[in-house]
Chains A and B, each alone.
Chain A
């Protein structure tokens, strides 16, 4: 059913169709309306047997979905920014306990200074937790990613939390025509969750035990193996998704106009659509430019990135987060994937804290790289001139 809806609703509706047993959440801008939509569905009796819990904090929400997941439930929560940071300790724990908690992050910058606007510093900050991370380009993808997240997270060979990242405001608040899934399609794709172990009086197990040095390392490395397996399993699920919905996701990355491209722009999330427009525009002007969209950020599809970029001469990575004191995060991953190839990589930080990213800015960056007016050093584009005040 094609309907013009906001991002919130597209996400909440996909959650409903995924039939979670327990939802626990706390409000935070720009996530709030996702859980408000779910709360309304709950109030209307439209969520079936789902328990919806209003948490006392994001920390509590994450803890409740962790507990519910340990008891064998399919669970969902959503958050943003500071809320995600507040959940972080619990999410690391959920990953370590191999609980397939699914959450949507409406991406928002991190304070200080306080900002409610969009960048992806929040989810990027917990990239090392053992949580699968996909970044949605638009609300159709955000909608589709939710049942996929449950399916992959709950796969016995994966059993890791799954985070669907959606740009705050830019997607969450945007109206778009969405092909809303129907229950039948989701049911065919996503069977009820059957946990391999759970808290069960008839078959008692201890979960979350403490592991002294002879044991700990194996648990952590096992998570790494599960992430590796998730790469293949996700591709299989994308394929099944295509069979059921007719929507082809491509793979972990989508390379557009890359075959003959001399310069490729790498991007993640809603900015991809903008880069696509810039690439079209530049192509019309005769520049051999391509776009590499990274959809799966964890597990990082290094082979796909390398394969897609190997014929290029220059790669521009648009980063919307910092790793203060080091290279921006996506740049670092891309460079690592390209190690040994004779390619110039240009790290460009854009759009922090909701700073506008005009298409012309992207085109200028590409032109400047083409004309070698800028060097492959970390740059901040769209930055105002300012004087650093040191008290």
Chain B
């Protein structure tokens, strides 16, 4: 049985189908999926063209955390807890921004839910507008490059840190460039009772301005530069980190993407590149990324 697809309408080269199919396979299809509004919902849930092989509910943009909490409570009340894992798939807009309150409630009450945020670093469903997950310097339609502004000003929100601060049993970051690692994390998350948060970096070919065949390469560079550290927390403790042999300069990651292209010519571009390199260096230090 197909757990996700065939027939979904994601763009060629889109990152998240790797994550969605990978997670559902890792759970052997024992999943009830709650999905916020976003690209994933649009490409998978059209009436008469549903591509899900598991029970699926789309709710709203901003309430996947709470809907999942309700599903989980119902399974408990109806003595069906062992039937399936309750799994959220939500984009970064639904997670970092508009759905933050209901996600926080879900984590605070420690509902037995695996919340997977596919992080493509902007509202890509509506055509690349900035979210709180958008990295510094990225050009989006709401943080466009202009004479005075070099794309997004301000940092990417540390959702991993925020999730850990909720005291939930399992938090991890992952990347679609490392699907086995991601699947292992999903399986590990499933071993804990309570709220689990996994954030999986997932390039958007249109929003990021990359060639569809470069998706995995670009995602891998995010990790290899230290901009997207792959970390794992169990019960509040950092337990595993993906080490980097020879950390690459952030420019290698930036130069492949249209959203960062201006940084190499804009008067403030160099400053932003240095800022991003500093973020990568801080990540390396904070998580001990360098092998």
Chain A residues proximal to chain B, CB less than 8 Å: 21-22, 24, 49-51, 53-57, 59-61, 63-73, 75, 89-90, 93, 199-212, 215
Contacts and interface: CB of A to CB of B under 8 A. Distances in A.
Contacts of A56: 66, 101-102, 104-105, 108
Given A75-B74, A93-B60, A201-B31, 6 more contacts: A56-B108, A60-B101, A64-B70, A71-B78, A205-B56, A207-B57
A311 to B, nearest CB: 48
Interface in B76-113: 76-80, 83-84, 101-102, 104-105, 108-109
Contacts of B258: none
Contact of B71 (A57, A199, A211): A199
Contacts of B34: 67
Contacts of B58: 206-210
B84 A24 contact: no
11 contacts: A56-B66, A59-B62, A67-B68, A71-B70, A89-B60, A200-B83, A201-B29, A201-B32, A204-B53, A204-B55, A206-B57
B190 to A, nearest CB: 14
A21 B55 contact: no
Contacts of B70: 22, 24, 53, 63-71, 73, 75
The size class of the interface chain B forms with chain A is 35 or more
Interface stretch (B44-52, B206-214, B216-224, B281-289): B44-52
A59 B76 CA distance: 22
Chain A binding surface SS class: mixed
Contacts of A73: 70, 73-74, 77-78
B46 A63 contact: no
A334 B100 CA distance: 43
Nearest to A216: B47
Nearest to B66: A63
B86 to A, nearest CB: 9
Interface string B11-34: 000000000000000000111101
A75 B78 CA distance: 12
B74 A68 contact: yes
Contacts of A212: 46-47
Contacts of A60: 63, 65-66, 69, 101-102, 105
Contacts of A75: 70, 74
Which of A61, A71, A202 has the most chain B CB atoms closer than 10 A to its own CB?
A: A71
A202 to B, nearest CB: 8
